[in-house]
């Protein structure tokens, strides 16, 4: 697996962004300590008996950043680079994301340092069950509710639900992003991508841009990248380049997204093996001129020393978490390239996770249309709130989004007496 290491770790990116926003919001030192660090951070060893009989031990984390506004909420990532700093950064971002989207959750994240592609299905299940067992004391519908993230999926959430339910009785509301048959929500699989597209549509309408015929470049062809490509293609956009961990494809006329979706997302085959485009490396992706540049894989991938000078797009849409380093972020803004921030752009997943949780608690499923209507309403409202503040205060999209989120979390902490 050729994983490119980020030039600045996502955790450090989130820390720098927090410091900037905390200065702006004039937080005192106690508030900074409270909002800057984790509420609870747990590290576990996860022993797994491999198919060849050996025991291999993986390192796992569950970090709850804040529960001030509701149960902690955040995905579980299986990735070789998942470490404490990264997981804390992602947990922190979840707090701002749930606050900005105005769903009644706090922020958390989990991770296991593992390459899931190197495991058999049986090993993956064993890893998930042992990890769940070791963090299950922290979990619960009113404590901490995990979801899928990079390297995990509906099946992993089903094993997590089963493992938790063995101890506590059938509890669908303990995890979101489950299969529909186990209480998952219609529209959850594509929710993050659908949210990305709703934000792009709102931005395009405000800026006099069009989605139709626009050129789109996407890094990552997993849940978020592939579903975003599919929905944008259905809206008439030209998706001209995509990559996954093994490289990718470029075709200025537009890639055959429906068949690539089947090949790369459904069948999990490398994007670069699909016909109908020139093979490119992950580095070459950033040099392709486009209207919308959508990082949808790792954090820290857009940076001054790696690719900033090569980037030629109208707007960066952060579908991944923390893809842009703070220096690159500033330079893009000063070049007149807006960066629509991760915790606004990719909030669709957690918004529909909230709908899933509500449906589980009420034992009342919603239709696909109800889910998407409510998602559209909530994420567009968040977008408008950020846009208004940005206009009033003449700050970047990210700073405006942070100011709103920090203020909401600080207010909840204050009302609770902290
Ligand atoms: P996924 O595991 O389904 O897909 C990840 C994709 O990134 C795969 O195509 C993989 O091949 C590719 N990738 C991995 N390393 C790469 C590299 N070095 N270069 C290029 N591509 C690489 O993950 P996902 O759920 O689509 O998540 C993608 C990003 O979106 C992550 O940053 C995640 O935190 C964020 N996110 C996901 C959700 C969600 O609901 N899934 C919600 C919010 C944010």
Q: Give CA 180 to chain center in angstroms.
A: 21
pLDDT digits (tens, 9 = 90+) for 373-403: 999 999 999 999 999 999 998 889 999 999 9
What is the number of the ligand 1 atom nearest to the C-alpha of 264?
Answer: 9
What is d(CA 68, CA 39) in angstroms, rounded to the nearest whole number?
10
What is the residue with the minimal CA distance to atom 33 of ligand 1?
320
Q: What is the pTM of this model?
A: 0.93
The residues with which 58 forms a beta bridge, in sequence order, are: 46
pLDDT digits (tens, 9 = 90+) for 177-213: 999 999 999 999 999 999 999 999 999 999 999 999 9
User: How many whole angstroms from 224 Cα to the centroid of ligand 1?
Assistant: 6
Known active-site residue 109? yes
What is the residue with the minimal CA distance to atom 13 of ligand 1?
245
User: How many whole angstroms from 19 Cα to the centroid of ligand 1?
Assistant: 26
pLDDT digits (tens, 9 = 90+) for 275-287: 999 999 999 999 9
pLDDT digits (tens, 9 = 90+) for 368-377: 999 999 999 9
pLDDT level of residue 16 (50, 70, 90 thresholds): confident
Catalytic, out of 109, 166, 178, 267: 109
Mutation probe of ligand 1 site: the residue of 223, 227, 352 with most atoms within 8 A of C-beta? 223
Instruction: Point out the least confidently predicted range of 30-44, 239-253, 273-287, 338-352.
Output: 30-44
User: Could you tell me the sign of the dihedral formed by the alpha carbons of 376, 100, 398, 145, in that order?
Assistant: negative
Mean pLDDT of 1-26: 70
pLDDT > 90? residue 42? yes
What is the residue with the minimal CA distance to atom 29 of ligand 1?
320
pLDDT level of residue 2 (50, 70, 90 thresholds): very low
Give the pLDDT of residue 34.
86
User: How many whole angstroms from 245 Cα to the centroid of ligand 1?
Assistant: 9
Give the pLDDT of residue 7.
62
- Strands 315-317 and 238-244 turn out to be unpaired
- Please, are residues 226 and 263 in contact by the beta-carbon 8 Å criterion? no
Task: With CA atoms as reference, report the closest residue to 196 among 350, 48, 335.
Answer: 350
Give the pLDDT of residue 319.
98
C-alpha distance from residue 37 to each of 15, 305, 342 (Å): 9, 29, 20
What is the number of the ligand 1 atom nearest to the C-alpha of 349?
Answer: 40
What is d(CA 92, CA 171) in angstroms, rounded to the nearest whole number?
26
CB count in 10 Å sphere of residue 165? 15
What is the residue with the minimal CA distance to atom 41 of ligand 1?
149
Ligand 1 site, CB within 6 A: 3-4, 148-151, 192, 219-225, 243-245, 282, 296-298, 319-321, 346, 349
User: How many whole angstroms from 151 Cα to the centroid of ligand 1?
Assistant: 7
pLDDT digits (tens, 9 = 90+) for 290-305: 999 999 998 899 999 9
Work out the percent of the chain whose per-residue pLDDT is above 90: 87
What is the number of the ligand 1 atom nearest to the C-alpha of 224?
Answer: 26
Mean pLDDT of 226-239: 98
Mutation probe of ligand 1 site: the residue of 105, 224, 250 with most atoms within 8 A of C-beta? 224
Give the pLDDT of residue 5.
44
pLDDT > 50? residue 1? no
What is d(CA 217, CA 220) in angstroms, rounded to the nearest whole number?
10
User: How many whole angstroms from 10 Cα to the centroid of ligand 1?
Assistant: 13
pLDDT > 70? residue 3? no
User: How many whole angstroms from 30 Cα to the centroid of ligand 1?
Assistant: 35
Q: What are the phi and psi torsion angles at 96 (to 5°)?
A: -70, -35
Alpha helical stretches, state H, 107-190 = 121-135, 154-168
Burial-class residue 295 by CB neighbours within 10 Å (0-12, 13-18, 19+): buried
Please identify which residue in the block is written with the tokens 């972020």.
329
pLDDT > 80? residue 85? yes
Which tokens sit at 279?
Answer: 């093979």
pLDDT level of residue 33 (50, 70, 90 thresholds): confident
Give the pLDDT of residue 4.
41
Mean pLDDT of 226-233: 98
Burial-class residue 39 by CB neighbours within 10 Å (0-12, 13-18, 19+): middle
What is the number of the ligand 1 atom nearest to the C-alpha of 147?
Answer: 40
User: How many whole angstroms from 25 Cα to the centroid of ligand 1?
Assistant: 31
pLDDT > 60? residue 405? yes
Mean pLDDT of 235-248: 97
What is the residue with the minimal CA distance to atom 35 of ligand 1?
320
What is the residue with the minimal CA distance to atom 19 of ligand 1?
245
What is the number of the ligand 1 atom nearest to the C-alpha of 342?
Answer: 44
Mean pLDDT of 407-418: 92
pLDDT level of residue 135 (50, 70, 90 thresholds): very high
Mean pLDDT of 352-364: 97
Give the pLDDT of residue 219.
98
What is the number of the ligand 1 atom nearest to the C-alpha of 221?
Answer: 9
What is the residue with the minimal CA distance to atom 37 of ligand 1?
149
């Amino acid at each position: 697996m050729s994983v490119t290491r980020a030039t600045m770790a996502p955790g450090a990116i989130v820390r720098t962004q927090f410091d900037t926003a905390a200065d702006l919001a004039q937080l005192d030192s106690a508030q900074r300590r409270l909002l800057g660090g984790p509420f609870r951070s747990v590290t576990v060893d996860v022993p797994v008996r491999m198919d060849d009989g050996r025991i291999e031990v993986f390192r796992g984390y569950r970090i709850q950043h804040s529960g001030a506004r509701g149960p902690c909420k955040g995905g579980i990532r299986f990735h070789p680079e998942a470490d404490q700093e990264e997981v804390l950064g992602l947990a922190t971002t979840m707090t701002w994301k749930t606050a900005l989207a105005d769903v009644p959750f706090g922020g958390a994240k989990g991770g296991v340092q593992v390459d899931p592609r190197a495991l058999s299905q049986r090993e993956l299940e064993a890893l998930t069950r042992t990890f769940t067992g070791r963090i299950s004391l922290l979990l619960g519908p009113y404590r901490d509710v995990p979801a899928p993230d990079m390297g995990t999926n509906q099946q992993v959430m089903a094993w997590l639900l089963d493992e938790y339910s063995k101890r506590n009785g059938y509890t669908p509301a303990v995890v979101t992003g489950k299969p529909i048959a186990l209480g998952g929500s219609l529209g959850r699989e594509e929710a993050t991508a659908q949210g990305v597209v709703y934000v792009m549509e709102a931005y395009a309408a405000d800026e006099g841009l069009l989605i139709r015929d626009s050129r789109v470049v996407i890094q990552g062809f997993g849940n978020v990248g592939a579903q975003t490509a599919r929905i944008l293609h259905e809206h008439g956009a030209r998706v001209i380049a995509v990559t996954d961990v093994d490289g990718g494809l470029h075709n200025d006329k537009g890639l055959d997204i429906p068949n690539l979706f089947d090949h790369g997302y459904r069948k999990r085959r490398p994007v670069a093996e699909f016909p109908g485009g020139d093979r490119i490396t992950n580095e070459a992706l950033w040099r392709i001129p486009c209207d919308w540049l959508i990082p949808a894989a790792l954090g820290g991938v857009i940076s001054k020393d790696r690719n900033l000078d090569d980037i030629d797009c109208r707007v960066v849409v952060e579908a991944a978490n923390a893809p842009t380093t703070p220096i690159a972020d500033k330079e893009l803004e000063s070049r007149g390239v807006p960066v629509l921030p991760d915790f606004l752009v990719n909030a669709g997943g957690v918004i529909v996770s909230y709908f899933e949780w509500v449906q589980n608690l009420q034992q009342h499923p919603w239709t696909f249309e109800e889910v998407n209507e409510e998602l559209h309403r909530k994420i567009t409202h968040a977008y408008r709130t950020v846009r208004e503040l940005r206009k009033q205060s003449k700050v970047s999209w990210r700073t405006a989004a942070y100011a709103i989120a920090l203020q909401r979390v600080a207010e909840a902490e204050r009302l609770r007496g902290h």
